[in-house]
Amino acid sequence: MIRLTMQGIWETIRSTLGDDTLGHPLFFITAVMATVVTAGLAFSIADVALGRMTFTSAAKYLAITLPGYLAVFALIRWVPIGSGEVPERAPSVTTFLLGLAGCLVAGDFLSYWWHRLEHGSAAVFRNVHYVHHSVESPLTVWSGFFVHPIESGVVFSMFYVVPFVLDVHPMIFATYAAINTFVTMVTHCGYKLWGYPTWLFADTARHEPHHEMKNPPNFCVLLTLSDRLFGTYLPADAATSSSSNLATTS
């Protein structure tokens, strides 16, 4: 039954987006784009309503973000760059979950070590990462996008190089891209979200202090796994006590 449901979802995706889009090497950016627009709009509405951001600022961020993603979508949709073979069958539930977990762990590991390099190398921090850390607290959902072009390209590569090279099933790749995008936005959104699985994913309570401390912990922006494994994890309670710039939905 679950297998049939997975197949039904996959067939709906294929009929909606088309094989030309799904077979494009950069098709997963459509999932990134949809998540950025949806989550960005939702958090911006909350920010304006709570007085954390002006309507003008929210509109400016959307106006800056949307054209770029729409241009990429147009590129994927209408510019022939070469199309790969689109699988007829959906992945099994086991394959889907294992593939998704593998993508999350790989993205977390690679982006973590790039982030460590940005702070460990004075030259890289001074010439690249300083742009992101020039964002003042409190953070908003758009803070994560305020980065140097080099950092933007490298982080994007760290997140997606493994599923791209391994040619994972498009259904897995798109789901991972959406989750990755949403989590990295939540990590910078400035809210403690009720019910959010902070035992698994990075969040604002642990990452906002990263932007405020001289020797910051919590380098992960996706999972908390690499911080825990490599000794840079600071629990939420300890991290939150160092920051007073968090809003809450609870």
In whole angstroms, give the CA distance from residue 93 to residue 244.
Answer: 42
Place of tokens 């380098």: 219
pLDDT at 216: 87
In whole angstroms, give the CA distance from residue 174 to residue 108.
Answer: 17
pLDDT digits over 203-237, tens only?
A: 998 888 888 887 889 999 999 999 999 999 988 77
pLDDT digits over 115-164, tens only?
A: 999 999 999 999 999 999 988 777 888 888 888 989 989 999 999 999 99
- List residues bridging with 201 in a β-sheet: 223
In whole angstroms, give the CA distance from residue 70 to residue 120.
Answer: 36
- The pair of structure tokens assigned to 63 is 């106006």
E strands, 109-246, in order = 191-192
* Diameter over CA atoms, the chain: 55
Q: Which is nearest to 222 in space by CA: 151, 158, 134? A: 158
248 membership: H or E segment, kind and range: strand 247-248
pLDDT grade, residue 35 (50/70/90)? Answer: very high
